[in-house]
């Protein structure tokens, strides 16, 4: 039957414009009435031919004509709230867009403070740092300026968690300049000078290492989660018979030297771990050449790597920048930087991770092949079948639970804060654009989830993809990675 235009009279008022589909149930019609009158369906008493309109009434048998008016009795309740109007991203304010996309707060630039803002955003990507800051009991009004700076960092991160958009880090900036006067330098007109983000990073890490509370074992966050151990062997090249000297020291970041042949980050790091020096030889009783070869004996859960891009140009009196393209991976196997002893401890877990990665890759390829087969089969249900195949494959991958204690070395398993597999994933990048360390601009890039990153350009925050991060490897005047932060690959 066709749709019939009908009216409803209730409390002396006629409500028109109802489209009554006589093939549908009376309950649907009552719901339409409810949306206009506010009378719930269970309170509606509608007069129809032969008596009251019931849910079981066959509307086709009423032989209704366009313009028919139903009489209704009933008490209204509250009208349902209207649905919120659809709002498109291009029509939203910055604050509304940030809330809709779950974009975190940026930091306002207080005058060439991008070096500080980008450093704070990258360090903010470490949840264990937040936990340690929460345990810090100091305030911001004590006589210990370094302790005040740590307390300010704690309060700043709390404020950023609540702020819907750009937040001014004024108190932290003031305390940073009190503790480290080099960041107070100004130029013409009293404008703050651009500073080095790596210097800011290193100074903050040193303060956190000194001031954050220690756990029951006497270790604090920096020592446990961001400090590695380096074993070095020093041998005399001019006197090979001289006894080698073995030493161990801690480190909070690795350096990537950039030479004319450096194309990949790992090669630059290995080059930095081998160096020639001159010192007095007790065997020869004169200055001699020595070679120091260093290898990592403990990898931390969070591993910062600095690209050594700046060098001093005496004729121009500036710290110039090396623009050479140096690729860094989204996933990083650091085992070749380690001592043979540590590599052997990684071996079992590394093989298991490779097995899992190979299985995931095989499933991905099989899923892609099936999807192509379904889409080219001409079957109308191909898209649904392909989606079902994709969903089931993802579930199969997630369902496998691994008892990692069977694969991890017991000593590494007991060492909280270390990387027990040697495998890392990139979680933050601090970049610089410009030709000199004393100018240009710094930006922080922080991973949100698979193929999604936050780009923190001071108080302007946007979402980018893995492909945008891979473009930060240098080779031109675009943003270039200066510090990359890796975290230990999470085990499923």
3-state SS, 437-480, equals CCCCEEEEEEEEECCEEEEEECCEEEEECHHHHHHHHCCCCCCE
**Selected catalytic residue, list 68, 114, 338, 432:** 114
Identify whether the C-beta of residue 59 lies closer than 8 Å to the C-beta of residue 22: yes
What radius of gyration, in Å, describes the C-alpha atoms of the chain? 33
Report residue 221 as tokens: 């966050």
Side-chain half-sphere CA neighbours of 350 within 13 A: 16
CA angle 290, 292, 298 (to 5 degrees): 165
Integer angstrom CA distances of residue 147 from 16, 80, 118, 197, 207: 72, 55, 22, 21, 8
What gap in Å lies between CA 395 and CA 392, rounded to an integer?
Answer: 5
Helix 170-179 vs helix 197-211: crossing angle, to nearest 10: 80
114 tagged catalytic: yes
For 378, left (φ over 0), alpha (ψ -120 to 50), or beta?
A: left
What gap in Å lies between CA 204 and CA 252, rounded to an integer?
Answer: 12
What gap in Å lies between CA 59 and CA 370, rounded to an integer?
Answer: 48
Helix 197-211 vs helix 145-162: crossing angle, to nearest 10: 110
DSSP annotation string for 158-212: HHHHH-SS-B--HHHHHHHHHH-GGGG-B-GGGPBPP--HHHHHHHHHHHHHHHS
**Selected catalytic residue, list 236, 256, 441, 479:** 441
- Closest alpha carbon to 268 in 428, 473, 486: 473
Q: Is the dihedral of CA 181, 186, 192, 193 positive or negative?
A: negative
* 3-state class (DSSP) for residue 232: strand
Identify whether the C-beta of residue 487 lies closer than 8 Å to the C-beta of residue 427: yes
Report residue 406 as tokens: 């069977």
Residue 306, judged by CB atoms within 10 A of its CB (0-12, 13-18, 19+), counts as buried
Identify whether the C-beta of residue 445 lies closer than 8 Å to the C-beta of residue 455: yes
The residues annotated with a catalytic role in the active site are: 114, 441
């Amino acid at each position: 039957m066709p749709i019939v235009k009908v009216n409803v009279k209730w409390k002396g008022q006629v409500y028109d414009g109802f489209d009554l589909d006589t093939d549908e149930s009376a309950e649907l019609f009552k719901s339409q009435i409810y949306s206009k009158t506010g009378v719930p369906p269970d309170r509606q008493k509608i007069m129809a031919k032969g008596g009251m309109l019931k849910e079981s009434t066959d509307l086709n048998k009423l032989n209704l004509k366009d313009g028919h008016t139903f009489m209704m009795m009933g008490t209204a309740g509250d009208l349902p709230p209207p649905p919120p109007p659809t709002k498109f991203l291009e029509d939203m304010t910055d604050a509304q867009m940030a809330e809709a996309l779950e974009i975190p707060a940026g930091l306002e630039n207080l005058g060439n403070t991008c070096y500080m803002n980008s450093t704070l955003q990258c360090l903010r990507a470490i949840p264990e740092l937040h936990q340690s800051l929460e345990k810090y009991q100091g305030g911001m009004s004590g006589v210990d300026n370094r302790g005040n700076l740590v307390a300010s960092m704690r309060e700043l991160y709390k404020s950023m968690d609540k702020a819907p958009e750009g937040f001014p880090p004024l108190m932290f900036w003031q305390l940073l300049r009190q503790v480290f006067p080099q960041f107070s330098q100004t130029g013409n007109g009293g404008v703050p000078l651009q500073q080095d983000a790596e210097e800011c990073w290193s100074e903050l890490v040193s303060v956190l290492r000194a001031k954050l509370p220690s756990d029951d074992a006497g270790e604090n966050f920096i020592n446990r989660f961001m400090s590695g151990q380096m074993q070095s062997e020093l041998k005399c090249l001019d006197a090979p018979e001289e006894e080698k000297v073995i030493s161990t020291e801690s480190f909070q970041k690795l350096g990537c030297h950039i030479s004319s042949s450096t194309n990949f980050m790992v090669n630059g790091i290995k080059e930095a771990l081998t160096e020639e020096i001159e010192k007095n030889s007790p065997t020869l009783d004169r200055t001699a050449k020595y070679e120091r070869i260093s290898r990592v004996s403990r990898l931390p859960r969070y591993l910062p790597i600095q690209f050594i891009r700046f060098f001093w140009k005496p004729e121009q009196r500036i710290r110039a920048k090396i623009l050479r393209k140096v690729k860094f991976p989204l996933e990083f196997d650091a085992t070749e930087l380690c001592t043979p002893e540590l590599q052997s401890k990684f071996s079992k877990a590394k093989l298991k991770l490779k097995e899992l990665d190979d299985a995931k890759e095989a499933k991905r390829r099989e899923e892609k092949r099936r999807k192509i087969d379904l889409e080219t089969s001409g079957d109308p249900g191909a898209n649904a079948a392909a989606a079902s195949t994709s969903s089931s494959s993802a579930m199969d991958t997630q369902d496998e639970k691994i008892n990692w204690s069977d694969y991890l070395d017991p000593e590494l398993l007991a060492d909280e804060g270390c990387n027990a597999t040697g495998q890392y994933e990139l979680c933050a990048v601090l970049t610089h654009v410009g030709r000199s360390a004393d100018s240009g601009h710094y930006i922080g890039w922080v991973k949100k989830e698979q193929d999604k990153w936050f780009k923190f350009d001071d108080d302007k925050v946007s979402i980018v993809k893995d492909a945008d991060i891979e473009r930060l490897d240098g080779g031109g005047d675009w943003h270039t990675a200066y510090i990359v932060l890796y975290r230990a690959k999470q085990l499923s």
